């Protein structure tokens, strides 16, 4: 299993828009990705309800995990997305 920590770049955290972008990306990845504050609180990054229920705030560090072929690349993509300010008017690439 691969894991990585990332600080949330959106000032208001993983509310509706950033959570939607995360869920969309997670749905396109070749491996399932989980997100949470720690290993005991991981949820499926492809679940909008799970992600929003975490209540993650901007500047907070989260743990990402993935297992399987392509896990490291998947975590890199998710970490890059989450580190950006997803509340800006610009649409993220991807």
Catalytic residue among 15, 20, 37, 84: 15
Report residue 52's pLDDT band, with 50, 70 and 90 as the boundaries. Answer: very high
Residue 89: pLDDT above 90?
no
Q: Which CATH number fits domain 2-83: 3.40.640.10, 3.30.1340.10, 3.40.50.10880, 3.40.50.2000?
A: 3.30.1340.10
Interval 7-30: pLDDT, tens: 999 999 999 999 999 999 999 999
Q: Categorize the per-residue pLDDT at 87 as very low, low, confident or very high, splitting at 50, 70 and 90.
A: confident
pTM to 2 decimals?
0.90
Name the token pair of 80: 């890059």
Judge whether 59 and 48 are in contact, CB under 8 Å. Answer: no
Residue with tokens 């950006």: 84
- Per the annotation, the verdict on 19 as an active-site residue is no
Please report, for the chain, the start and end positions of each structural domain, with discontinuous segments joined by +.
Answer: 2-83
CA dihedral 50, 85, 12, 79 (to 10 degrees): 30
**pLDDT tens-digit series, residues 53-79:** 999 999 999 999 999 999 999 999 999
């Amino acid at each position: 299993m691969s894991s990585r920590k990332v600080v949330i770049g959106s000032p208001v955290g993983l509310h509706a828009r950033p959570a939607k972008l995360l869920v969309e990306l997670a749905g396109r990845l070749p491996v399932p990705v989980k997100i949470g504050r720690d290993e005991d609180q991981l949820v499926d990054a492809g679940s909008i309800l799970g992600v929003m229920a975490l209540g993650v705030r901007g500047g907070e560090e989260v743990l990402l995990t993935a297992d399987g072929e392509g896990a490291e690349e998947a975590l890199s993509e998710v970490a890059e997305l989450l580190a950006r300010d997803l509340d800006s008017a610009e649409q993220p690439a991807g």
